[in-house]
Amino acid sequence: MAGIDRARAFLDAARGALADDPRAHAELDLCEHRMYQPVRVALAGSLKAGKSTLLNALVGQDIAPTDATECTRVVTWYRSGRSPSVTAHIDDGRTVGIPVTRIDGRLGFDFGRLTADRVDHLDVEWPARALQSTTIVDTPGTASLSTELSDSTIRLLAPRGESGSDEARGRSGVDAVVYLLRSLTATDTAMLRRIGTAIGGSSGPLGVVGVVSRADELGAGRMDAMISAQQIAGRFAGELERTGLCQAVVPVAGLLALAARTLREVEFRALAQLASTPGAELEAALLTMDRFARPDILPDIPADLRRSLAERFGVFGIRLAVTLIRFGATSSTELAAELVERSGLSELSAIIDTQFAQRADELKSHSALVTLDHLLAASASPRAAQLRASVRRELADVHGFRELRLLSTIRVGGLDLPPEQIADLTRLIGGSGIDPATRLGQPTGTDVPDLRASAIQAARTWRSLAGHPLIAPDVASACQVAVRSAEGIVARLDEQRSPFGTGDFSVGTHSPLG
């Protein structure tokens, strides 16, 4: 796919081809407006999958209500703002300010007399660093594991065709989706297929990542819960890889991640006290969370504090924190970092950064071209048909998608190469960042001739490996992806040196995600 500048050129050409269609012009204006905004990432999945908790963990602040209230039944946009504010967009076109409340420490939005069915969506502005480069959209879940997502979520992620058919029409309101799974049902796979078509068009799920959510609960709070979750995520990833519905699947314990990112000093001291408690006594107290919070259990730690620990960390989180303290975590900062890493949030954040945030321009451009493809298809103008052919050629080049698929394969250990070659391959295809220097393992500020020489050498190295007569077919295919990535760097560096170059360093001449 083209970069931002090329996508804008297509939009300008479409304005001429669709000059007699005011509705199409309004859509084109929206497309261009979106390209100036942060990349839009939606959290979707089944009811009670933990979307709001995961959002809070990603942001590092308690900004999304997690109770089953009216506000969790509404599509909610979280954007960067100078001060916290919540605005409800009503079905009659009005906007109403919504007060932010905290009851017993829990954040909520006070709808007053409004009900969820009257609210089209909420806009939340919040001063959070994570929202400066990414707008996160929290969506309502399914009514049950066997029902379809709510209509408001469908309209946002994968709107139906003009005739009302179930076929997605491809004008998704977001650029990428993190889809939370408790299990892998037919409803989930059908929705993932629909989302992938809406966001990626014919290129596939360019911006879809799966999360095995509430992963700590899969092992009933045992210390090996995350190992079980990783095995399940691997199985899900294999099934979704075969069907092409996801780029990656990772396990995340959202509750633990949020507690770790908001860990208070008083909680660390209480956990340190628990770590000094004899093992048998502690395990007896952790038989149930109600028992753990009883006044006559562990009297040296106030019952209210133990109840708060149970609500914020869960059994798995408490056991893990205690174990880490016993093995040497001596401060709240050190413990928090270990817990975040073991919760799976670090891996998910890295995926969101490398596959969404760093490729934001490419994702937004791709979203614009998918919408443009549908607008031009609805026109009978010969000029529109000609332009659509060019747009579809841009969309047909899916090298960026191949990079992301290969990153997913590497992540689950599905490529038989030595560790040093895996590291080089991961870096070259954008696993650590998409700028040329990072891809080539060169220091920031390396001059263009040196980068170009390094890229040419990388292309030769991986082409030679791909042609080895004893190499496995899947490894040969991965090597060809690396060759294409290296050649794309050379092409972009040459454009940069040209007086007519765009300065766009995305990899691949017409790569979907660079």
What is the pLDDT, as a whole number, of residue 500?
Answer: 42
Last residue of a domain, one of 342, 367, 390: 342
What is the pLDDT, as a whole number, of residue 68?
Answer: 59
Last residue of a domain, one of 311, 342, 373: 342
**Cβ atoms of 271 and 318 closer than 8 Å:** yes
Domain count, the chain: 3
Q: Are residues 298 and 438 in the same domain?
A: no
Q: Are residues 225 and 267 in the same domain?
A: no
Q: Is 201 part of a structural domain of the chain?
A: yes
Q: Is 373 part of a structural domain of the chain?
A: no
Q: Are residues 293 and 210 in the same domain?
A: no
List of E strands, 31-81: 39-45, 76-80
- Residue 90's beta-bridge partner residues? 119
Q: Are residues 248 and 268 in the same domain?
A: no
What 3 state SS string does 300-360 have? CCCHHHHHHHHHHHHHHHHHHHHHHHHCCCCCHHHHHHHHHHHHCHHHHHHHHHHHHHCCH
185 Cβ contact partners less than 8 Å away, ≥ 6 residues apart: 145, 146
> What does pTM read for this prediction?
0.78
Q: Are residues 353 and 422 in the same domain?
A: no
Angstrom distance (rounded) from CA 509 to CA 319: 51
What is the pLDDT, as a whole number, of residue 70?
Answer: 60
**Cβ atoms of 404 and 355 closer than 8 Å:** yes
What is the pLDDT, as a whole number, of residue 165?
Answer: 47
What is the pLDDT, as a whole number, of residue 338?
Answer: 94
Q: Are residues 226 and 324 in the same domain?
A: no
**Cβ atoms of 511 and 402 closer than 8 Å:** no
Q: How far is CA 338 from the centre of its chain?
A: 22
**Cβ atoms of 436 and 492 closer than 8 Å:** yes
Angstrom distance (rounded) from CA 388 to CA 374: 9
Last residue of a domain, one of 294, 328, 359: 359
What is the pLDDT, as a whole number, of residue 498?
Answer: 56
Calculate the dihedral angle through the C-alpha atoms of 352, 355, 360, 362, rounding to the nearest 10 degrees: -160
Q: Is 150 part of a structural domain of the chain?
A: yes
Q: Are residues 186 and 304 in the same domain?
A: no
Q: Are residues 159 and 235 in the same domain?
A: yes
Q: Is 124 part of a structural domain of the chain?
A: yes
Q: Is 45 part of a structural domain of the chain?
A: yes
What is the pLDDT, as a whole number, of residue 64?
Answer: 85
Q: Are residues 276 and 249 in the same domain?
A: no
Q: Are residues 149 and 82 in the same domain?
A: yes
Q: Is 444 part of a structural domain of the chain?
A: yes
- Compute mean pLDDT per 10 residues along the chain, 514 residues long, and list them: 76 88 87 85 85 91 76 86 90 87 76 81 91 90 51 77 47 83 82 76 65 75 68 75 73 91 94 92 87 88 92 89 92 95 90 81 81 87 90 78 79 83 92 89 92 94 92 92 92 69 39 37
Q: What is the CATH number of the domain that holds 43?
A: 3.40.50.300
Q: Is 371 part of a structural domain of the chain?
A: no
Q: Are residues 185 and 224 in the same domain?
A: yes
CA angle 239, 241, 353 (to 5 degrees): 125
Tokens of 481: 């992806």
Q: Is 370 part of a structural domain of the chain?
A: no
User: Domain containing 303: what range?
Assistant: 263-342
Q: What is the CATH number of the domain that holds 456?
A: 1.10.287
Q: Are residues 444 and 432 in the same domain?
A: yes
Please give the single-letter amino acid code of residue 386.
Q
Look at the block and give the residue holding tokens 């006559």. 296
